[in-house]
A and B are shown apart, each in its own frame.
Chain A
Amino acid sequence: MPATFSSSRILQPVRPLFILVSLLAALALNFLPTSAWSWMPDWVALVIVFWSIREPRRVGMGTGFILGLAMDVADSSVMGQHALAYVLAAYAASALSRRIMWFPLGQQALHVLPLLLLVQAVQFAVRVVPGVTLPGFSYFVGPLIGALLWWPLTFVLLLPQYQPVDRDANRPI
Chain B
Amino acid sequence: MEHQPPPFFKRGPAPLAQLSFYAALSLALIFIDSRFQTLELLRQGMSLFTHPLQQAAHAPADYLQNAGSYFSSISHFQDENSRLKRAQLNGAETLLRTRQLEAENERLRKLLDVKGRQQANGRVAQILYAARDPFSRRVIVDKGQQDKIVAGQPVVDDAGVVGQVTRVFPFVSEITLITDKDQAVPVQIVRNGLRSVVFGLGNGQLELRFMPANADVQKGDLLVTSGLDGIFLPGFPVAKVVQIERDTSYSFARIYCVPLAGVENFGEVMVLDPREPIVLPPQLTHETATTLVKPLAKPGAKKKRLKKE
Would you call B29 and A61 a contact (CB within 8 A)? no
The CA of A139 and the CA of B42, in the complex, are separated in Å by: 28
Would you call A130 and B34 a contact (CB within 8 A)? yes
* Residues 154-192 of B contacting A (Cβ, < 8 Å): 167, 174, 181-182
* Residues 39-62 of A contacting B (Cβ, < 8 Å): 57, 60-62
* Nearest chain B CB to A70 CB, angstrom units: 5
A residues with CB within 8 A of B:
24, 27-36, 38, 57, 60-62, 64-65, 68-70, 73-81, 83-84, 87-88, 91, 94-95, 124, 126-127, 129-133, 135, 139
Across the interface, which residues of A come within 8 angstroms of B42, CB to CB? 79
A60 nearest CB neighbor, chain B only: B18
* Nearest chain B CB to A23 CB, angstrom units: 11
Interface of B is mostly: helix
* Nearest chain B CB to A104 CB, angstrom units: 26
Would you call B11 and A57 a contact (CB within 8 A)? yes
B residues with CB within 8 A of A:
9, 11, 15, 18-19, 22-23, 25-30, 32-34, 39, 42-43, 46-47, 49-50, 53-54, 56-58, 61, 129-136, 138, 140, 167, 174, 181-182, 202
* Nearest chain B CB to A20 CB, angstrom units: 13
Would you call A87 and B50 a contact (CB within 8 A)? no
A130 nearest CB neighbor, chain B only: B34
The CA of A28 and the CA of B58, in the complex, are separated in Å by: 9
B44 nearest CB neighbor, chain A only: A73
**Given A76-B133, A95-B15, are A84 and B53 neighbors across the interface (CB < 8 Å)?**
no
**Given A73-B47, A79-B33, A132-B135, are A31 and B27 neighbors across the interface (CB < 8 Å)?**
no
Would you call B136 and A32 a contact (CB within 8 A)? no
Which of B15, B19, B134 has the most chain A CB atoms inside 10 A of its CB?
A: B134
**Given A57-B11, A61-B18, are A31 and B131 neighbors across the interface (CB < 8 Å)?**
no
Interface of A is mostly: helix
Q: Please, could you name 9 A-B residue pairs with CB atoms under 8 Å apart, sorted by A?
A: A34-B132, A68-B26, A70-B49, A75-B131, A76-B167, A79-B33, A91-B19, A132-B181, A133-B202
Across the interface, which residues of A come within 8 angstroms of B135, CB to CB? 77, 124, 127, 132, 135
**Given A31-B58, A73-B50, A95-B15, are A87 and B133 neighbors across the interface (CB < 8 Å)?**
no
* Nearest chain A CB to B43 CB, angstrom units: 5
Would you call A75 and B132 a contact (CB within 8 A)? yes
The CA of A95 and the CA of B14, in the complex, are separated in Å by: 11
* Nearest chain A CB to B14 CB, angstrom units: 11
Would you call B50 and A74 a contact (CB within 8 A)? yes
The CA of A164 and the CA of B125, in the complex, are separated in Å by: 53
Across the interface, which residues of A come within 8 angstroms of B56, CB to CB? 28
